[in-house]
């Protein structure tokens, strides 16, 4: 099927993350700072890949959770809520970070409960409803004066690793990269476990999963909350890196962008989604100056072409090809048949 073997997956992930770890060696200034953001966007893309590529939930408003993590981090560390003992404790960056992540997860639990309970919404209805939610949340945040309105929150304190010397982006980069590796390995292990089989089942045939006695609601809600928490983590770290939480992080624009990254990279392979985000941001950094207004046109056209011709994604397709090519010697054509993971599930 459309899955990578564990060894191929581990090898490509090792190559990608080691290559990223070498970025500060090449340039410890501007590009390390940029790479930090790319890796965080990549983490954000991984969380959407879990939701959309695996659980089959096309969320058109995923930036809402990125933004909740970001605004949570910003408002807590800037002490917007007051000076009491509890708030002082929550204002510490390493305390605020998990609290913001939990906030994103809780918001997703509430929204997911509403969306998936009973005869829940899925497919196109889910896309339109989440799109509307993103528009609502962005407008609400823009209208709240305490959160900075249109200007956002400026002056978010840096995380510990970077706070010692705010002009050196290297410590924060490695903190972010290690987090991304941990998230990736965690997701990879999770998706190869029973949970991965359940997610595949819920996206391909939810009714049959229900007949087997599983709760479709619980699987969808779990995926939604986990995806939102990872997005919130990326958002919180992004805001701490940038020192700035703006309404554009929480709304429709970024939601649509992350969808493009994941679609271009490859929705069903977490690493391809990660690389999709990094590649599009990198291409934008180089090409938007060169092409000017033609850049967005090119992105739109490439995106259209990729959806029609290579729906697996521009990065996942060659990865799968190489994977199948290398695996042909040992496994011959057995990959076309249901794999061992599926048998284990039944």
Partner 1 sequence: MIEALPIFLDALSFVLILVLVASGLVIVFGMMGIINLAHGELFLLGAYTVVVAQGLGAPFWLAAALAPLVVGLAGLAIELLLVRFVVHRPLDTILATWGLSIAIKQIVVLAFGPGSHSVAVPIDGAISVGGFTYPAYRIVLMVVATAVIAGAGYVLVRTRMGLLARAVIARPDTSANLGINTGRVTQVSFAVGAGLAGLAGALVAPLISVDPQMGLGFLVPAFLAILVGGAGSMTGLVAGGSLVGGLDSLLGGWVSPVLAQITVFVLAILVIRLRPGGLFPGRGRRP
Minimum distance of partner 1 from residue 302's CB (angstroms):
8
CB of 127 to partner 1, least distance (A): 6
> For residues 179 and 268, which CB has a smaller minimum distance to partner 1 in the complex?
268
Of the candidates 70, 5, 21, 75, the one whose C-alpha atom is nearest the C-alpha of residue 41 is: 70
Least Å from the CB of residue 108 to partner 1:
16
Nearer to partner 1, 127 or 320 (CB): 127
Instruction: Say if CB 85 and CB 213 are below 8 A apart.
Output: no
CB of 174 to partner 1, least distance (A): 35
- Our CB check for partner 1 shows the closer of 29 and 305 to be 305
Task: Indicate the residue among 57 and 181 with the shorter CB distance to partner 1.
Answer: 57
Rounded least distance, CB 248 to partner 1, Å: 14
CB of residue 72 vs partner 1: minimum separation in angstroms? Answer: 20
To partner 1, the closest distance from the beta carbon of 114 in angstroms equals 7
3-state secondary structure the chain: CCCCCHHHHHHHHHHHHHHHHCHHHHCCCHHHHHHHHHHHHHHHHHHHHHHHHHCCCCCCCCHHHHHHHHHHHHHHHCCCCCCCHHHHHHCCHHHHHHHHHHHHHHHHHHHHHHHHCCCCCCHHHHHHHHHHHHHHHHHHHHHCHHHCHHHCEECCCCCHHHHCCCCCCHHHHHHHHHHHHHHHHHHHHHHHCHHHHHHHHHHHCHHHHHHCCCCHHHHHHHHHHHHHHHHHHHHHHHHHHHCEECHHHCCHHHHHHHHHHHHHHCCCCHHHHHHHHHHHHHHHHHHHHHHCCHHHHHHHHHHHHHHHHCCCCCCHHHHHHHHHHHHHHHHCCHHHCCCHHHHHHC
Identify which of residues 60 and 274 has a Cβ nearer to partner 1 in the complex: 60
Question: Which C-beta is closer to partner 1: that of 79 or that of 253?
Answer: 253
Quick one: 239 or 316, whose CB is closer to partner 1? 316
Q: In angstroms, what is the minimal distance from the CB of 227 to partner 1?
A: 17
User: Are the beta carbons of 288 and 295 closer than 8 angstroms?
Assistant: yes
- The residues that touch partner 1, with contacts defined as CB under 8 A, are 58, 60, 114-115, 119, 121, 123-125, 127-129, 131-133, 135-136, 139-140, 142-143, 252, 256, 259-260, 263, 293-294, 296-297, 299-304, 307-308, 311
Nearer to partner 1, 58 or 198 (CB): 58
């Amino acid at each position: 099927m459309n899955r990578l073997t564990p060894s191929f997956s581990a090898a490509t992930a090792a190559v990608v993350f080691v290559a990223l770890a070498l970025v500060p060696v090449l340039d410890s200034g501007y590009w390390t700072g940029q790479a930090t953001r790319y890796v965080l966007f990549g983490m954000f893309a991984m969380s959407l890949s879990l939701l959309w590529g695996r659980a089959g939930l096309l969320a058109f408003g995923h930036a809402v959770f990125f933004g909740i993590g970001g605004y949570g981090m910003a408002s807590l560390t800037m002490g917007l809520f007051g000076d009491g003992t509890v708030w002082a404790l929550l204002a510490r960056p390493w305390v605020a970070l998990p609290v913001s992540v939990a906030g994103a997860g809780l918001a997703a639990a509430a929204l997911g409960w509403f969306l998936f309970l009973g005869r829940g919404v899925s497919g196109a209805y889910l896309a339109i409803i989440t799109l509307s939610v993103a528009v609502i949340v962005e407008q609400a945040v823009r209208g709240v004066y305490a959160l900075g309105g249109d200007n956002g929150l400026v002056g978010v304190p840096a995380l510990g690793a970077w706070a010692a010397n705010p002009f050196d982006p290297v410590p924060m980069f490695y903190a972010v990269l290690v987090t991304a590796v941990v998230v990736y390995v965690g997701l990879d292990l999770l998706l190869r476990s029973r949970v991965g089989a359940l997610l595949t089942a819920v996206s391909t045939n939810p009714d049959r999963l229900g007949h087997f006695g599983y709760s479709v609601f619980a699987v969808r809600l779990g995926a939604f909350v986990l995806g939102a928490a990872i997005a919130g983590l990326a958002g919180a770290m992004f805001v701490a890196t940038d020192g700035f939480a703006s309404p554009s992080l929480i709304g429709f624009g970024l939601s649509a962008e992350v969808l493009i990254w994941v679609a271009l990279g490859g929705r069903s392979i977490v690493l391809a989604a990660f690389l999709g985000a990094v590649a599009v941001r990198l291409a934008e950094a180089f090409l938007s100056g060169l092409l000017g207004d033609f850049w967005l046109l090119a992105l739109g056209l490439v995106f259209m072409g990729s959806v029609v011709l290579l729906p697996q994604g521009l990065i996942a397709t060659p990865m799968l090809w190489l994977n199948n090519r290398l695996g042909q010697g040992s496994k011959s054509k057995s990959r076309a048949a249901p794999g061992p993971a599926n048998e284990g599930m039944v």
